[in-house]
Chains A and B, each alone.
Chain A
């Protein structure tokens, strides 16, 4: 079956540091890949997505590239801010929106210190 593996953390960085959160997946066919973010006390928000190989999703300074050869979708940001502190989830689905059912990783808790 489908699965997503990501580093769980917590990951603690200083403000303005470079961020990488690794995500690898196992799936049949050609899934769509997503990064969601969950702020304390809130639901999930879609951060970015990519629907085919070599696509790059980007939003709010974050970006991730769909790498089929390495089955990866690593999240990166060049300079993190305190407001980026949250839990980040990598996910996949067959459909481009995920309504057919998203398969999530366990989540990575990111803490940014001033």
Chain B
């Protein structure tokens, strides 16, 4: 069974631009979560989508948004990029119940210049 895939793996943008990251979950998984990993703040939860609906949300500004499609693939969008948005963005998928294990993808490395 294929694992969680994220595209692209690396991305370079400039301040003020917007970016869209994609995550394809493991087949059959209906929940997708997104995390931001930075050296200063560590790993922080952005949001979780289940059956095309945002079910849980972390403490990030509205510039960070996401969506999930009917095939469970998810995209994350960051608008008006800031230097501090440079990070590794990880997504994780699970079957969706509270006790189901999450499986993480390799991440997308975003650099904002």
- The interface of chain A, by Cβ under 8 A from chain B, is 36, 41-46, 51, 89, 91, 94-107
Contact = CB atoms under 8 A, between A and B. Distances in A.
Given A89-B43, A104-B42, A99 B58 contact: no
B87 interface: no
A36 B42 CA distance: 13
Interface stretch (B11-19, B63-71, B72-80, B104-112): B104-112
B90 A44 contact: yes
Interface string B19-62: 00000000000010101000000111100101000011010000
A97 B45 contact: no
14 contacts: A46-B103, A89-B43, A95-B98, A97-B94, A97-B101, A99-B55, A100-B55, A100-B98, A101-B33, A101-B56, A102-B45, A105-B42, A106-B42, A107-B42
B5 to A, nearest CB: 10
Contacts of B58: 101
Given A43-B106, A44-B90, A101 B99 contact: no
A82 B58 CA distance: 36
Contacts of A42: 106
A95 B55 CA distance: 13
Interface residues of B, number: 28
A48 B47 CA distance: 23
Nearest to A36: B104
Contacts of A104: 42-44
Given A44-B90, A89-B43, A104-B42, A98 B104 contact: no
Given A43-B4, A45-B104, A103 B45 contact: yes
A44 B56 CA distance: 20
Given A41-B106, A97-B98, 12 more contacts: A36-B104, A43-B107, A97-B94, A98-B94, A99-B31, A99-B92, A100-B98, A103-B45, A104-B42, A104-B44, A105-B42, A106-B42
